[in-house]
Amino acid sequence: MFDSLDSTKYEYGESIYYDEFKVIIQKIVICYYLMLRDEIVCANNENQIRDVLLIEYLKDNLIRNRVKLNDFIFDREVPEDRSPGRTDIKIQTKQSFIDTDAYYIIECKRLDSVKPEGVSGLNAKYISEGLMRFITEKYSSKYGLNGMIGFIVESMDINQNIKILNKLIEEKFPGTRTIQGMQSEDFIEDFEYVYSSRHNTDSNKQILIYHLMLDFSGNIRSD
């Protein structure tokens, strides 16, 4: 798994960014597995979970060398230059040194089992305070391609929750301008919880969002 998608073989072209972003997602999954192996325990707090994943794994030099993340720079809480957005995770690549607009964004949100079908639960916030930031272009999308991470903080059937999210998107959030609801993707060995959806932005630009669901339900402190 560590070598199955190696970013070093890619040269930049119009469609190669999709392959590159899949590499990034796969490496994040590897770091997630390392967190589980290390029995990391976090508070039920989005920023704390993100910071452990980011600072102790994605930005750790030993781990970056081990899982071949050296082509990417991960930063947190970065203001956007041309909008009021402030990204959870900004990912710069070799191309960023040529074009300063050339980067990816990942938005992080917690998900639990409370009011999953309601408009006030974390599922709804995943859409209204996460997905919508790409659609309203609060977050930029140079390649029409970005991602979200759902931090699962309570035990749940993840695939069933994806169906609930799709239902919410369809019935309660028409502003998502959805072309394709969240569908399962199969490009990571031994990991099934990655999905993609397609939407039109407010300026009618089509975007692809990858959704990565990371189950931390057994790693959350009961404070």
Written as tens digits, the pLDDT of the chain (223 aa) is 544 444 444 444 457 899 999 999 999 999 999 999 999 999 999 999 999 999 999 999 999 999 999 999 999 999 998 888 899 999 999 999 999 999 999 999 999 999 999 999 999 999 999 999 999 999 999 999 999 999 999 999 999 999 999 999 999 999 999 999 999 999 999 999 999 999 999 999 999 999 999 999 999 998 7
The order of strands in the sheet holding 73-79 is 73-79, 86-92, 103-111, 145-152, 206-215, 194-200, 178-184
pLDDT of res. 81: 87
Q: What are phi and psi of 175, to 5 degrees?
A: -65, -10
| Calpha distance 91→76 (Å, rounded) | 9
Q: Partners of 89 in the beta sheet?
A: 76, 106
| Calpha distance 108→213 (Å, rounded) | 10
Q: Decide: helix, strand or coil at residue 126.
A: helix
Q: Decide: helix, strand or coil at residue 203.
A: coil
pLDDT of res. 83: 85
Residues 6+ apart with CB under 8 A from 27: 58, 67, 68, 69, 72
CA distances from 71 to 2, 68, 96, 148, 194 (A): 15, 8, 11, 20, 22
pLDDT of res. 2: 47
* Pairing mode, strands 178-184 and 145-152: unpaired
> Largest Cα–Cα distance of the chain, in whole Å?
48
* Structural tokens at position 36: 């589980």
* Structural tokens at position 92: 């710069």
Give the position of tokens 């199955």.
4
| H helix runs in 38-172, sequence order | 46-53, 61-67, 122-126, 132-135, 158-172
Angle at 171 between CA 165 and CA 174, to 5 degrees: 95
Neighbour tally for 113: CB within 10 Å: 16
Cβ(160)–Cβ(141) under 8 Å? no
